[in-house]
A and B are shown apart, each in its own frame.
Chain A
């Protein structure tokens, strides 16, 4: 990695457009996140592990009593992988958006960071890398819980944390981008209703939308969450075709890339210009 000298706060226009993201800066930010997390870990960990477990149990028993097999697997198995995806989304959505808002507008953390040789790209990357790691953890925890409930897993389940990281990175960037646009915490319902709920619900997390009307099915196919669920299902349960898995991974990579670019652009606009 090239080390670019100079502080980020000055002469934004003089800098080359595509700056390298330096590993040491990202590492410093991830370490900072870890230090913060160490002090508050209990509440968020309880939330991100208990909540998907609850969805797994309640929907597994609730809907499971009404339907037995969905898309060729028992509903509990179907829901278990959905719950892992939900855990990733919950960890990497409203948290990053609110964090982004409060760190920018209330604690002025970003102003302080930009006073050091750290740039907007590195802030976005560092925070998303960290959120991705937490997502990997909660996805793993959810499949462990699922195994305890008797969901039969295949050997490729070891890829679940990797998939969780990739999707978590993408969602974290997407919601950080939205957080960079917030002007008041009262605007949070816009993000909930406009981004979080559609991603959460118009996906295949709870049930396949194969029989839904085309106007509902088609948008769901463009939802990264749908592909996260498909790839998780393939890894944990061994269902799905190679094409589905490759498509899913490609969508997740695309989501991560585009969301990262959006987050960098909007956070820079919010902080610097």
Chain B
């Protein structure tokens, strides 16, 4: 590796680049465990849900259950990678490591920290979607050429969920509250976002919150890209909503982290 280009002297792009560079240097030391996790997890989900549930249902929403599940697993992998990293890392870096206190004493703003960390997590999320689709390909899932959009969707979704996680991590006061984040934020999105099954037949009180989940729109985009058959209008709506969520979560993360570390 070359010497660092990360001598950020002014806030903005240079500072964000410095944060991303720092993340990469941290990741280089611990890469094995998260990488093994992000490859083994989709394999297990595909194996068990593909074979187990696939034996009970052949087709879901016009595609085979294995295809449905494979794209759902990619979205869930992004949620797991980005939301959990954002929340846990945000909490521990702020309260235990005092990393942000250190960073903010350099010419780096809260917005640079949030953007840099989320940008790095987004890159990892894009990688996770690629490994999941590669695993799916090995399992015999047929992919359209528009599958090349999958990492781009992973990047956007990963950025959004990393910001959401960072926003939550900036608000919690004890590591015990991380249990509440897992049960109250992660798990609901994980299971009701059209990832394991469609909720078109579910009762309205379950269906409408599920339609508002950002993950629902991400998985819709992933399916459109992987199999290449969805109307352009639908894609635009899902992409627009996901972009809107991304912006909202970024603003929340900046505001809440600033409140937690500055004032």
Contacts and interface: CB of A to CB of B under 8 A. Distances in A.
Given A51-B183, A187-B33, A209-B51, A66 B196 contact: no
The interface centre, meaning the residue of B55, B183, B199, B202 with most chain A CB atoms within 10 A of its CB, is B183
A38 interface: no
Given A54-B187, A66-B56, A194-B40, A43 B180 contact: yes
Interface stretch (B41-49, B112-120, B137-145, B228-236): B41-49
A60 B204 CA distance: 15
A59 B206 CA distance: 12
Contacts of A155: none
Given A44-B179, A189-B33, A61 B199 contact: yes
Contacts of A62: 191-192, 196-199, 202
B3 interface: no
B176 interface: yes
Given A62-B199, A65-B201, A192-B37, A198 B44 contact: yes
B198 to A, nearest CB: 7
A197 B48 CA distance: 11
The size class of the interface chain B forms with chain A is 35 or more
A47 B37 contact: no
A190 interface: yes
Interface stretch (A112-120, A200-208, A232-240): A200-208
A4 to B, nearest CB: 36
Interface string B158-190: 000000000000000010111110111001100
A186 B196 contact: no
The DSSP consensus for interface residues of chain B is: helix
Nearest to B186: A51
Interface string B49-78: 101110111001000000000000000000
A127 to B, nearest CB: 17
Nearest to B206: A61
A188 interface: yes
Interface in B109-141: none
B1 interface: no
B56 A67 contact: yes
B262 interface: no
Contacts of A187: 33
A186 B183 contact: no
Interface residues of A, number: 41
A148 interface: no
Interface in A204-221: 206-209, 211-213, 216
Contacts of A202: 44, 47-48
Contact of B192 (A58, A186, A211): A58
Contact of A43 (B177, B201, B203): B177
A54 B188 contact: yes
B37 A216 contact: no
Nearest to B35: A189
B44 A50 contact: no
Interface string A46-78: 111011001101110111011100100000000
Given A61-B201, A66-B60, A193-B37, A211 B55 contact: yes
Contacts of A57: 206
Interface string A99-135: 0000000000000000000000000000000000000
Contact of B179 (A43, A59, A189, A211): A43
B97 to A, nearest CB: 12
A243 interface: no
A55 B191 contact: yes
Contacts of B37: 189-190, 192-193
A57 B196 CA distance: 13
B41 A207 contact: no
Contacts of A63: 53, 57, 196-197
Given A58-B192, A209-B52, A189 B36 contact: yes
A238 to B, nearest CB: 23
Nearest to B33: A189
A13 interface: no
A11 interface: no
Nearest to B51: A212
Contacts of B240: none
A40 interface: yes
Given A65-B202, A189-B36, A193-B40, A44 B56 contact: no
A59 B44 contact: no
6 contacts: A50-B187, A61-B201, A62-B192, A209-B52, A212-B51, A213-B51
Interface of B: 30, 33-34, 36-37, 40-41, 44-45, 47-49, 51-53, 55-57, 60, 174, 176-180, 182-184, 187-188, 191-192, 196-203, 206
Given A54-B187, A54-B191, A213-B51, 8 more contacts: A57-B206, A58-B199, A61-B203, A186-B33, A201-B45, A206-B49, A206-B53, A216-B51
